[in-house]
Amino acid sequence: MIRCRAGFLTASLAVPVLSAEPTAPAVPPSPLEGQVVHAWLENDLVAGIDRHYTHGTRLGYLSAEGWWDSRTDSWLVRLAGWLPAPCQETSAWRAGITVTQNIYTPADLDSSTVVANDRPYAGWLYLNPSIQRRGLSSGGTPVLDTWGLELGVVGPASLARDAQNAVHDFGARGWDNQLDNEPDLGIRYAKVLRYSRLFSDTFGGQFLPSAGFQLGTVQSYLSLGLQVRVGWNLPDDFGGRGIDGVVPASGGRLAGVVPHRGFHLLAGVEGRAFGNNMLLDGNLYHDSHSVRKFPLVGDFRVGVVYVGQRWDIGYTHTFRGKEFHGQPYGDAFGSVSVAYKW
């Protein structure tokens, strides 16, 4: 059963195996976290294929928690206080921004005409400014709450054609058929909880359920996910996920705490229920190639992460179910992530 309090809303959450970290809601869940720069690189060539979601690149920055606390007249501070954070007591918050480029192609890169039974060529470039709040649920469980905007473009202005052909010995021949330029405007929201259990002084496990949504011109969907990780000196973050998910990067170097190096394995699932998906449905305002999408798409991912005193390095392999009718099989791709903390 699920329990939380937000205004007149009361619900409850009980986890039978893993217990929540025993901290009162009024006490900060940990020391404040410092600044972080993140980089991600995703590609399907590590799975021996070159099709569909074929490449993604993201760069991101998170400010230090507490940096904005003295700037009470800032519009960003007022916005952070105004945005709802249901079912949690917020103890620290920060601002972040990412820039992302994703590339999508059909499987047949040799055809210069539209591949009628496969997804359209498409590039997607966007900025994602966000506000991230960390705190505790009414039951004392660490929780991360994030609101973000999405501002970008789908089409030739995304520079996806140039990016793909720059890293290939040959040029994909069908880019003249890509989706036309159209704006990307949207909002994102995600909430993640963290249940922890120590099996020794340094070895433990964590259970991280998540939920969120995206509402925009390019994609609109609801997301439910679960990640489990096991290892040594688990970090004070909320797990690692792929580029195109609503759950953002988190964590950082804790103020006044001597960091310990760690290592962990992770496994997770995520399901999405789509309303619109321009990358499959085709352009909103122009005639374009399209395919009939599946409204429900699932991901399964496994990974390994090294957590250092300054550097975090991870690799995740994602298996994605079929996204559209006529797709003969699901896809897979690998993701390398690097973070620098100070």
* pLDDT at 72 exceeding the cut of 70: no
Q: What is the mean pLDDT of residues 239-263?
A: 89
DSSP 119-142: PPPEEEEEEEEEEEEEEE-TTS-E
Q: How confident is the model at residue 81, as a pLDDT?
A: 83
Burial profile 8-28: b = 16 or more Cβ within 10 angstroms, e = fewer:
eeeeebeeeeeebbeeebeee
Q: Tokens for 149?
A: 């905007």
What is the DSSP secondary structure assignment for residue 75, as one 8-state letter?
H
Predicted confidence band of residue 30 (pLDDT cuts 50, 70, 90): low
Residue 130 backbone phi and psi in degrees, to 5: -150, 160
As a whole number of angstroms, the distance between CA 82 and CA 65 comes to 18
Domain CATH code at residue 161: 2.40.128.140
Q: How confident is the model at residue 27, as a pLDDT?
A: 46
As a whole number of angstroms, the distance between CA 159 and CA 259 comes to 40
As a whole number of angstroms, the distance between CA 137 and CA 25 comes to 7
Residue of 246, 278, 31, 235 whose CA lies nearest to 149: 246
The region of weakest confidence among 30-34, 67-71, 147-151, 189-193 is: 67-71
Q: How confident is the model at residue 169, as a pLDDT?
A: 59
Are the C-beta atoms of residues 61 and 99 closer than 8 Å to each other? no
- pLDDT tens digits for 88-122? 998 899 999 999 999 999 999 999 999 999 999 99
What is the DSSP secondary structure assignment for residue 293, as one 8-state letter?
B
Q: How confident is the model at residue 78, as a pLDDT?
A: 84
Q: How many structural domains is the chain composed of?
A: 1
Q: For residue 124, what are the β-bridge partners? A: 102, 154
CA quadruple 320, 322, 327, 330: dihedral positive or negative? positive
CB-based contacts of 201, cutoff 8 Å, min separation 6: none
Amino acid code (one letter) for 133? R
Predicted confidence band of residue 2 (pLDDT cuts 50, 70, 90): very low
Q: What is the mean pLDDT of residues 184-199?
A: 97
CA quadruple 301, 228, 3, 245: dihedral positive or negative? negative
**Residue range(s) defining the domain that contains residue 127:** 2-341
The region of weakest confidence among 82-96, 284-298, 327-341 is: 82-96
CA quadruple 124, 125, 130, 135: dihedral positive or negative? positive
Does the reported pTM lie above 0.75? yes
Q: Tokens for 302?
A: 């496994």
* pLDDT at 6 exceeding the cut of 70: no
* pLDDT at 238 exceeding the cut of 60: yes
Q: How confident is the model at residue 18, as a pLDDT?
A: 45
Q: For residue 59, what are the β-bridge partners? A: 39, 99
As a whole number of angstroms, the distance between CA 66 and CA 341 comes to 15
CB-CB neighbours of 323 under 10 Å? 22
As a whole number of angstroms, the distance between CA 138 and CA 87 comes to 7
Residue of 261, 176, 182 whose CA lies nearest to 216: 182
Q: How confident is the model at residue 166, as a pLDDT?
A: 76
Q: How confident is the model at residue 241, as a pLDDT?
A: 86
Q: Tokens for 157?
A: 């202005």
